Amino acid sequence: MADIDNANGRNNKPQSQIYALRQQIDDINMQLLKLLNQRAEIAAEIGRIKSGMATSQYDPEREGDMLEVLQQANQGPFSNETIGALFKEIFSATLAMNSEKARSALLVERSDEHQRTVITLPDGTKIGDGSFQIISGPCAVESFEQLDEVAAALAKNGMSIMRGMAYKPRTSPYHFQGLGEEGLKIGRRVANKHGLMMVSEILDMSQIPLMSQYVDLFWVGARNMQNSFLLRALGNVRQPVILKRSFGATIEELLYAAEYIVSSGNPNVILMERGIRTFENWTRNTLDISAVPLLKQETHLPVIVDISHSAGRRDIANTLAKVAKASGADGLMVEVHPNPAVAMSDAKQQLSIPEFEDMLAEIDMLPQV
């Protein structure tokens, strides 16, 4: 302060006064810079400790206490409002830095462009190795004969993974809910008969012991994507898990859901884009195809496209199948039924066996990206 008074006294040399004062400002800027970064390092250390404790990085109470102390100590010339606004900027920059750090530590995140998770099923089928896998079968297991007919077509066409859905998460409780354990039994018998791997949807963690006896892969549907208890429990199963994106979830939220499974001990997770809810009603959902390249960029996990539930209609299935392959996905999922018109669920979108074979012929002509 003494320097400033002296400087103010030298009215005959205003330029040199300004120069001297600016030098002081430059010095203070340097000190502030150093202090801000020192503060950030300490805050980052707190952030690291908090991330191990599963505590939120944001602590409004602590921010309120800090502001109160600062405003009580403030002697101006800045007003308390200004001090409050300046420090709030510092707090939010710190929070943003810590959240970014927490995010970049995700296990599902790709560390370099060559890192990829390749999942090998018990029969040697690989997902994520650069091949294009087709997962198929009816929306639900309805009978042995129905599944057997589809499975025979899948095997004949060289497919490896069959849907054997026994528990159906329907919108209405009065609609067909699946055959339950009987459906799992049929699925396993049919899969064994045709040398196929079976995937089935799990609705609740209490089903793990029963379903583990039947399935080669677990499947978490869109409605359960954020059921963190189920996701954590699937961290302890030996089978890979297909995780579908919820119709209301962002791509980032899908990655966090996958992180629940991977961080709980199961690295074999396959992501599935199945369309999100938008204002468009000519399709059941809107297939968010940009999710595929974005997910492939962000994560090392395989990504599959569900062309059935995204569109909700069979007339554009072939085009969506080609788009899925061209997007760089690791495969697609399509529902196939021996007689879609009488299907007990999703009748409008399931392909007949000849339609399915037609789709296969079309996508065969496209090279794998």
Residues forming the site for ligand PEP (CB under 6 A): 139, 165, 169, 201, 221-223, 244, 274, 309
Nearer to ligand PEP, 139 or 287 (CB): 139
Nearer to Mn ion, 142 or 346 (CB): 346
Neighbours of 13 (CB within 10 A): 11
Nearer to Mn ion, 139 or 150 (CB): 139
**CA atoms within 13 A of residue 208's CA, in its CB half-sphere:** 15
108 binds, among Mn ion, ligand PEP, none (CB under 5 to 8 A by kind): none
Smallest gap from residue 162 Cβ to ligand PEP (A): 13
Residue number with the smallest Cβ distance to ligand PEP: 221
Give strand pairing partners of 351: 336
222 binds, among ligand PEP, Mn ion, none (CB under 5 to 8 A by kind): ligand PEP
Smallest gap from residue 347 Cβ to Mn ion (A): 10
165 binds, among Mn ion, ligand PEP, none (CB under 5 to 8 A by kind): ligand PEP
Smallest gap from residue 223 Cβ to ligand PEP (A): 6
- The SS3 assignment for 268 reads coil
Please state, in angstroms and rounded to a whole number, the distance separating the CA atoms of residues 84 and 225: 40
Residue 367: asked if its preceding bond is cis (omega within 30°), the reply is no
Smallest gap from residue 50 Cβ to ligand PEP (A): 34
- The SS3 assignment for 361 reads helix
Nearer to Mn ion, 163 or 325 (CB): 163
Both structure tokens of 31:
């000190």
300 binds, among ligand PEP, Mn ion, none (CB under 5 to 8 A by kind): none
Please state, in angstroms and rounded to a whole number, the distance separating the CA atoms of residues 105 and 103: 5
As to burial, measured by CB atoms within 10 angstroms (0-12 exposed, 13-18 middle, 19+ buried), residue 222 is buried
Nearer to ligand PEP, 98 or 327 (CB): 327
Judge whether 126 and 119 are in contact, CB under 8 Å.
yes
Q: Hunting for tokens 């004949």 — which residue is that?
A: 156
Nearer to ligand PEP, 166 or 190 (CB): 166
Judge whether 275 and 304 are in contact, CB under 8 Å.
no
Q: Does 139 bind Mn ion (CB under 5 A)?
A: yes
337 binds, among Mn ion, ligand PEP, none (CB under 5 to 8 A by kind): none
Q: How many residues contact Mn ion, by CB under 5 A? A: 2
Question: Of 128-136, 184-192, 286-294, 342-350, which part binds Mn ion (CB under 5 A)?
Answer: 342-350
Judge whether 276 and 286 are in contact, CB under 8 Å.
yes
Nearer to ligand PEP, 7 or 247 (CB): 247
Smallest gap from residue 272 Cβ to ligand PEP (A): 8
Q: Does 346 bind Mn ion (CB under 5 A)?
A: yes
Smallest gap from residue 217 Cβ to ligand PEP (A): 13
Nearer to ligand PEP, 14 or 169 (CB): 169
How far from the centroid of its chain's Cα atoms is residue 19's Cα?
Answer: 55
244 binds, among Mn ion, ligand PEP, none (CB under 5 to 8 A by kind): ligand PEP
Q: Does 142 bind Mn ion (CB under 5 A)?
A: no
Task: Give the list of residues 6+ apart from residue 248 with CB closer than 8 angstroms, or none.
Answer: 276, 277
Please state, in angstroms and rounded to a whole number, the distance separating the CA atoms of residues 45 and 22: 34
Beta strands in the chain (DSSP E): 119-120, 126-127, 133-137, 161-163, 197-201, 217-220, 241-244, 269-273, 303-306, 331-335
Instruction: Kindly list the residues in this chain that would bind Mn ion in the complex (CB under 5 A).
Output: 139, 346
